[in-house]
Amino acid sequence: MRLWPDTLAGRTLSLLIGMTLILIIGSAWLLHDERRERFDERSRFQLLDRVATLARLLGDADDEERLRIIERVADRGDDIELSDKPSVTTPPSHPLERMIGHKLKRRLHLTDQSSVRVRIEFDAHDDGSRYGRKERHEHGPLGDFEGIHLSIRLWDGVWLNIRTNKFEGPPPWAGKTLQLLALLLILVISSGLFIARRMARPMSQLADAANRFGLGQSQPPLSEKGSREVRNTIRAFNQMQERLHKHISDRSQMLAAVSHDLRTPITTLRLRAEYIEDSEMREKTLATLAEMEAILSATLGFARDEAADEATRSTDLAALLTSLVDDHADLGGNVDYKGPDRSIFMCRPIALKRALNNLIDNALKYGGSASVRLVEKNEGVEVVIDDAGPGIPEESLEEVFTPFFRLEASRNRETGGTGLGLAVARTIVHAHGGQLSLVNRSEGGLRAAVWLPR
């Protein structure tokens, strides 16, 4: 399973969501700490206020009223009693104890240092060391203590002893706060998805245009959108496409001029050869000129195929192969077709027909037969052409695609051709984004396999 997305939009969105989650979690942690301190401060104030109020009420009351007051104010978790002796006998050892005692003396207007005594009972897992810093002395959380003992000497010398363990932690997160955080995350994801898609769309269009351009499909210049780096990349692609089109156009014009300039002297030589009196010399000269003209035509055809500007359109590939098979069968060739009756495919039909025709023609010429098979797959189509010939030496299977390379060394066009048929076929197949390969079959003969992606 891929955890890191593979697309630019997915990675941008993942990065944005990740940073937002870190920000939310960090903010929640800081807010939780702040809420805890504010709640502890309020709890400390309520404790001091309750104890100071109780001490004032008991100081102005008689014995009967004191018992009634204690009975009314005592709550669950409180232990309040009046005694001749203080329950806290040890001096304060913790800064928080001294702080609570100091504030109580100030509220009760007591000047005697020993009139208020405080002892804090820490829980079994905490010895109070984590409250050693000064700032924690002032804001230590009361909810982490097991109890607080207070001894306060009233005006008549009687000691008010209080032990309380009624401490509450901060309340849970409010549902509204959690809803707002969830809404914030949803808004970030939605806006991030929109922004990421807008950022990635120009790159996706550029990749699609480059792929179509690589397949030889002409297209208008892309609009320059997106960030500055993306705009610069699109501008460079448009300039490259324009320069390549101009280069191809210039080369096509040059080839047309070469064709015209070379055909004229060949025609002139052919006319002059008719006046050669020696019949044998005349026939040899005319044959040489015919071979030159054939080579020139094949060379120009190869160059035109490389610079072809045929539009891509929807084509029935099965019908195209059937027509080629029927044409060769009508000329007496041993050829057959196996495959679906209909196979719609986007291609340049004229160029592709020439490439497949070259392969079938080679199979018939050098193998004596041609078995054509069309196989449809999800990713594309495969055209397989088998023959029953002697095959090709393993070391020459790739070399035969070189222009003007011929296995037959006599240089006779009737037996060895011009050496451009396979080169033209591979050029056309590559222009469709496909692959053309040759392999010797184990049962004998050669197999030409053409793979064309959708």
Give the chain's radius of gyration (CA, Å). Answer: 48
Given 108, 137, 164, the domain boundary residue is 164
pLDDT of residue 410: 43
> Over the stretch 158-198, which tens digit does the pLDDT of each residue have?
888 888 876 665 666 666 777 777 887 788 788 877 877 77
> Over the stretch 199-219, which tens digit does the pLDDT of each residue have?
778 888 888 888 777 666 667
Three-state SS for 373-426 is: EEEECCCEEEEEEECCCCCCCHHHCCHHHCCCCCCCCCCCHHHHCCCCHHHHHH
Given 118, 133, 164, the domain boundary residue is 164
pLDDT of residue 338: 93
Q: Which segments of 140-174 does DSSP mark as H helices, in order?
A: none
Does any domain span residue 279? no
pLDDT of residue 217: 65
Does any domain span residue 51? yes
34 SS3 class: helix
Contact in structure between 389 and 445 (CB atoms under 8 Å):
yes
Centre a 10 Å sphere on the Cβ of residue 152 and count the other Cβ atoms it contains.
26
pLDDT at 35 over 60: yes
Does any domain span residue 73? yes
Give the whole-angstrom CA distance, residue 420 versus residue 355.
Answer: 11
- Between 437 and 303, name the one with better pLDDT: 437
| Residue of 413, 212, 198 lying closest to 297 (CA atoms) | 413
Could you tell me the pTM of the whole model? Answer: 0.50
Give the whole-angstrom CA distance, residue 59 versus residue 115.
Answer: 13
> Over the stretch 92-140, which tens digit does the pLDDT of each residue have?
878 888 888 888 888 888 888 788 888 887 765 544 444 433 333 343 4
Does any domain span residue 132? yes
pLDDT of residue 135: 36
Which CB contacts under 8 angstroms, 24+ apart, belong to 89-98? Answer: 89/117, 90/119, 91/117, 92/117, 92/118, 92/119, 94/120, 94/128, 94/131, 95/131, 95/134, 95/137, 96/120, 96/128, 96/131, 96/137, 96/140
- Between 193 and 385, name the one with better pLDDT: 385
Give the whole-angstrom CA distance, residue 85 versus residue 300.
Answer: 121
Give the whole-angstrom CA distance, residue 406 versus residue 423.
Answer: 11
Average pLDDT, the chain: 79
- Between 236 and 305, name the one with better pLDDT: 236
363 lies in which domain range? 312-453
- Mean pLDDT, residues 447-454: 91
Joined together, the tokens standing for residue 48 give: 């001091």
Does any domain span residue 373? yes
Give the whole-angstrom CA distance, residue 433 versus residue 426.
Answer: 11
Given 164, 190, 206, the domain boundary residue is 164
Task: Quote the number of domains for the chain.
Answer: 2
- Between 416 and 399, name the one with better pLDDT: 399
Q: What is the DSSP string of 212-231?
A: HHHTT---PPPP--SSHHHH
Does any domain span residue 347? yes
Does any domain span residue 108? yes
Does any domain span residue 184? no
Question: What percentage of the chain carries pLDDT values higher than 90?
Answer: 14
We report the CATH number of the domain holding residue 440 as 3.30.565.10
171 SS3 class: coil
DSSP label at residue 4: S
> Over the stretch 226-246, which tens digit does the pLDDT of each residue have?
778 888 888 898 888 888 878
In the block, which residue shows the tokens 């050869």? 273
Backbone torsion region of residue 444, taken as left when φ is above 0, otherwise alpha when ψ lies between -120 and 50, otherwise beta? left
